[in-house]
Structure 1
Amino acid sequence: MKETQKEMVTSMNKRASISIISAILISATAFTLAPSATAASNVAAATYNGACGSGYGVVNSMALTKGTVYLTYNSATGKNCVVTVRNSSGAALYMTAEVAVADTYPNSNVQDVGFYTSYAGPVYVNAAGKCVAWGGNIDYSGRWNGRSNCG
């Protein structure tokens, strides 16, 4: 009977040791992965690059995985402009920039579609006093707003 108790204690000690080692490994893995996750979130977001020209100010934007779509407006001309800007330049990727008068979409849709290294657009529509539909895409991941910035 004593031998069986001794084996049980030895077995329990082994299990406890394995549990402690497992906990240490899990903690070390979490600590090692944390800086990588933080570094990935520190990628600089795209900023508006002024591609629409003078007199245009950003009135709306939508974040994409690899950049941002900007809707701009020029109050002197009544025109809206859309440009899609990548977070960082690099090899050419499929990109789009699109804008339309919301009530006449898709008939008024103006778009720039192609493979670009930094931005797509600018594309313009005269939408003074109207709502616009707009959006963009980088590397086949995009967003579309079917009606916004009315007025």
Structure 2
Amino acid sequence: MNIKLVVVGKLKEKYFKAGIAEYAKRLSRFCKFRIIEVPDEKAPESLSQSQMDNVMEKEGSRILSKISDREYVYALAILGNERTSEDFAKELDKLTTYGNSDITFVIGGSLGLSSDVLKRADTQISFGKFTLPHQLMRLVLTEQVYRAFMINEGSPYHK
């Protein structure tokens, strides 16, 4: 099984890198896990709607260039469906049971995801209505993917 995160922007903080590296190491016994970073589009602080759309389109094109047709894609979106950890674990288990061995998660830039990326996604997932830094979201997502494998294994980690 291959699990990939396609994310906009570079991870700078050492403490986030360390946490993600730890979960990536733990995930290595279950899957091939990797993170692909695409550059964020430089933009001024205040943008018109059309300028925001333009930024999201450019970032979206970069994201889509890293996704093949055979991948099952989760777009992280505040308006996506929330899941419990147990439901998420069942969903991943069902996907792999029915032949989806390439699963990709997409985290957009500070403005969100383009409509093209959202259309390409097989599903949208939300981790709640809070706004979180994208770097922190990478860590949270990586931990939840690891937690899903541990739940499916029947491990006490989840308790």
Tell me the TM-score normalized by structure 2: 0.21
TM-score by length of 1: 0.22
The structure whose residues are more often strand, as a share, is 1
* Higher helix fraction (1 or 2): 2
Which has the higher relative contact order, 1 or 2, with Cα contacts under 8 A spaced 6 or more apart?
2
